[in-house]
Chain A
Amino acid sequence: MRNSLYVFHKLCVNITPGRWPSLLLQNRLYAKYFPDFFQNPIFRKEDQAKLIENNELSKYTTVPVLPPSASETSMHFDPLVNKVINHIMKDGNKKLARSLLEKAFENVKRKQIERYHLAKTPEQKAKIELDPKNILHKAVENSKPMLQLLPIKRGGITYQVPGPITEHRSLFLAIKWLLEATTEKERTVHFPEQFAWEIMDAANNTGKVVKRKQDLHRLCEANRAYAHYRWQ
C-alpha cells in the first residue's frame, strides 16, 4: 500500500502543476530521495547496545534504513551542537555556520586551557571544564526559561498571562537568546569571539542571557494574579 502511494507521489512530482492543480495541493512539490517509511539509521555503539539489551534488534532487521549523513556519523557529532549550527545558519550556508561555531569552540578551549595552566592547586584545576561542547550544553541548560508569558484577551484587555512552557520552546528560546546576545556587539568584535564569551558566561550562570531568563521569571511571578485567565 505504502509503496504504491510512493509511486503516486512520484507521479505527482513529475506532472506540471498547471494541469492537475487540485491534486497537487495535497502533495509535495519537490522530489524526495527516500520514501517516508525508511528509518533513520542507528549507528552509535551505545544506541546499538541499548537495542540489544532491550531485545529490540529483531524489529529493525527487516526495515529499510536510510544511509547516515556524513556529519552525523562523526565521533564528535552532537545533536544540540547541530541544532545551534542550524540556528546560526543564514541562507542555507551551513559550512560558514559550522566554521563560526567551531571557531567559537576553539576560543573557549584556548581560554579554558589558559585558565587551567594558571590554576595552582589540583582541586582548582579539576573544577575547570575544558570541553567546549559541555560548556555549550551547560550554557543552554542555564538559559532555558521555565515559564512563559502568553498574551490572552479577556474583556477587551490583553493580559500577559504566565504559564508553563514546553521543553521544545524553552530550548528554542535559550538558543535564540544566546544568539541575540551575541549579535549585540561592537562591529569590530567577531561573532566567534563574542559567542565564546556568551556561552562561557551562561555556563557560569551569569551574563546577559541568564539575566534575561531571570527577568522573564520575575515578570511571570509579578503577573501571577492573571494566571487563572489561562482557563477562564
Chain B
Amino acid sequence: MLSRNLRIACRRYSQSVTTFRTSEISPAQQNSNQIGLFYTLDNDLCKQLYGHGGLPKCFLKQTKTFTETTFMIRQPALEIIECIKATDFNKPAIRYVLHGEEGTGKSMTIAHLLHYAHQEGFLIIHVPWVSNWLRRVSRYKEMANSLTKEGFVDIPLDAAAWLLHFKTQNQHLLKSGELKVSKDYEWSKREKTPAGSTLLELIEHGIVRVKYACDVVDTLLHEVKLLSNTKQCKTFVAIDGYNGFFNPLTNLHTPTKKKVAPEEVTLTASFLELTKNDWTNGVMLLSTDAIAHPEYEQESYLPKYLLYRKGFDHIDPFVPIEVSNYTEKEFMTCASYYRDRLWLRGSPDIEKELKITSAHNPYRFMELCAPL
C-alpha cells in the first residue's frame, strides 16, 4: 500500500517536473490545456510593451535573475480572451473588472492580456498604476492649475511620461499614420494641431510642450473614442488600480496647501470619461486593488467596497473576474519552474511546507522562496 502511494506520488511529481513550459507563445492560441504552464516573451516586445511600466517591480527583479520573461497561463486571462473573441464589437464596449486578494496576479493578468491585445492589433491605452499619479508624491512632482478647466489641477510631467508610454506601446499603429485628428485644436496663439494631422503629431506635441500634456491626453482619449466609433481602430483599455480614481483624497496638494481630491485632477476626468461605455469597438479591462485603497487594513478586496458607491455606479454594468490563488497544479508547475531557474533547491519536501505557509498565494510563495 505504502509503496503504491509512493509510486503515485513519484509519478505525479515527475510529471509536474517535466512539463512546466509551453511553446505556445501566442496568447490567442492558448487554451485551457495549458493552464499553469509558462510561456516566454520576446525581449524586444517586453521592452516595447512594459518598458515604461506594466510589470510589478518584484517581478522585474525576477526577470533579471531568471534571465528571461515568462508568464504563467492562468484561468482569468483565458476567460477574458475567450470573452473578447466572442464579443460583438458593434455594441458598447464591455468592462471587465479584475479583483482578488493581494498578490494573486491581477497586474500579471493585465500584462498577459496586453500581450494578447498587442498581437490582435488593438490600440492599447494602458495605465500601469493609477496611484503613481495620485498618491506617489516625489520631490520633483510638478503641479499646475489647469489652463482650460476651471478649478482643476494638472500633473504635466506624469501626463507627458504617460504619452511616451502610449507612444512606445502603439508605435507600429501610430507610424502608419492612418489615425487622424478630427478637428482643429488650438493650444496657444502660435501652436495648434490642425484637423487631419496624425495622432503621432498630437502626442509629440504633448511630449515636447509638457505644459499642454494633460490637455493633449484629454484630446487624445477623446479622439481615440471617435476613431473606435468609426471603426478605424479597435481599442484596448487597461487600467491597473482603477479604484485609485475614487478614493476620497489624493496625496497631492496645491501651493496653498489645500488637499486635492482625485476628481479635481484633469487626468482623472479624462480617464473616467474614457471608461464610460458610450463608445463601441473597444474592450476595457480595469482592476481593483486593495493596495490602492487609502486605509491601511482593508476590510475586503471586493470591487464594491474598494470602488465606493460612486465608482461602482460609474462602471456599473461590468463583468467581474476573480483572480484567485494558485490551484494545486499551478503551484506544482510554478515550483518546478523555480527549481529549473535555481530559485528553489533542496528536497522535494520543501514544497509541502511552502504550500502551507504561502497558502497557495503566488506573491507569498515567491517571497518565501527568496531566502532559501
Chain A residues engaging chain B, CB cutoff 8 angstroms: 74-76, 101-103, 105-106, 109-110, 113-114, 116-117, 130-132
- With A76-B372, A113-B65 known as contacts, the answer to whether A131 contacts B345 (CB < 8 A) is yes
B150 contacts the other chain (CB 8 A): no
Q: Across the interface, do B65 and A114 meet the contact criterion of CB distance under 8 Å?
A: yes
- With A74-B353, A110-B65 known as contacts, the answer to whether A116 contacts B342 (CB < 8 A) is yes
Chain B residues with Cβ below 8 Å from A75 are: 346-347, 349-350, 353
A103 to B346, alpha carbons, bound, how many Å?
Answer: 19
Q: Across the interface, do B371 and A130 meet the contact criterion of CB distance under 8 Å?
A: no
Q: Across the interface, do A106 and B371 meet the contact criterion of CB distance under 8 Å?
A: yes
Count residues of chain B with CB under 8 A from any CB of chain A. 16
Interface of A is mostly: helix
- With A110-B65, A114-B65 known as contacts, the answer to whether A105 contacts B371 (CB < 8 A) is yes
Chain B residues with Cβ below 8 Å from A117 are: 67
CB closest chain-A residue, reference B372: A76
B6 contacts the other chain (CB 8 A): no
CB closest chain-B residue, reference A76: B372
Further pairs besides A103-B371, A106-B370, A116-B342: 15, Cβ < 8 Å: A75-B346, A75-B350, A76-B350, A76-B353, A76-B371, A101-B371, A105-B372, A106-B371, A109-B343, A109-B370, A109-B371, A109-B372, A110-B61, A113-B342, A114-B65
- With A113-B65, A117-B67 known as contacts, the answer to whether A102 contacts B350 (CB < 8 A) is no
A106 to B343, alpha carbons, bound, how many Å?
Answer: 10
Distance to closest chain A CB from B234 (angstroms): 40
CB closest chain-B residue, reference A132: B371
Chain B residues with Cβ below 8 Å from A103 are: 371
Chain B residues with Cβ below 8 Å from A130 are: 342, 345
Name 8 interchain pairs, CB-CB below 8 A, sorted by A: A75-B346, A101-B371, A103-B371, A105-B371, A113-B342, A114-B65, A116-B342, A131-B345
Chain B residues with Cβ below 8 Å from A109 are: 343, 370-372
Distance to closest chain B CB from A180 (angstroms): 23
Distance to closest chain A CB from B69 (angstroms): 15
CB closest chain-B residue, reference A116: B342
Chain A residues with Cβ below 8 Å from B353 are: 74-76
Chain A residues with Cβ below 8 Å from B370 are: 102, 105-106, 109
Q: In chain B, residues 236-275, which have Cβ atoms closer than 8 Å to a Cβ of chain A?
A: none
The residue in B342, B343, B349, B350 that gathers the most chain A C-beta atoms within 10 A of its C-beta is B342
Per-position binary interface string of chain B over residues 75-114, scored 1 when its CB falls under 8 Å from any chain A CB and 0 otherwise: 0000000000000000000000000000000000000000
Distance to closest chain B CB from A178 (angstroms): 17
User: Within the complex, which residue of B65, B341, B371 is in contact with A102, where a contact is CB–CB below 8 Å?
Assistant: B371
Distance to closest chain B CB from A103 (angstroms): 8
The residue in B61, B371, B372 that gathers the most chain A C-beta atoms within 10 A of its C-beta is B371
A102 to B346, alpha carbons, bound, how many Å?
Answer: 17
A17 to B272, alpha carbons, bound, how many Å?
Answer: 69
Chain B residues with Cβ below 8 Å from A74 are: 353
CB closest chain-A residue, reference B357: A74
Per-position binary interface string of chain B over residues 354-372, scored 1 when its CB falls under 8 Å from any chain A CB and 0 otherwise: 0000000000000000111
Chain B residues with Cβ below 8 Å from A76 are: 350, 353, 371-372
The 10 A-B residue pairs with the shortest CB-CB distance, nearest first, are A105-B371, A102-B371, A106-B370, A75-B353, A110-B65, A117-B67, A113-B342, A75-B350, A106-B371, A113-B65
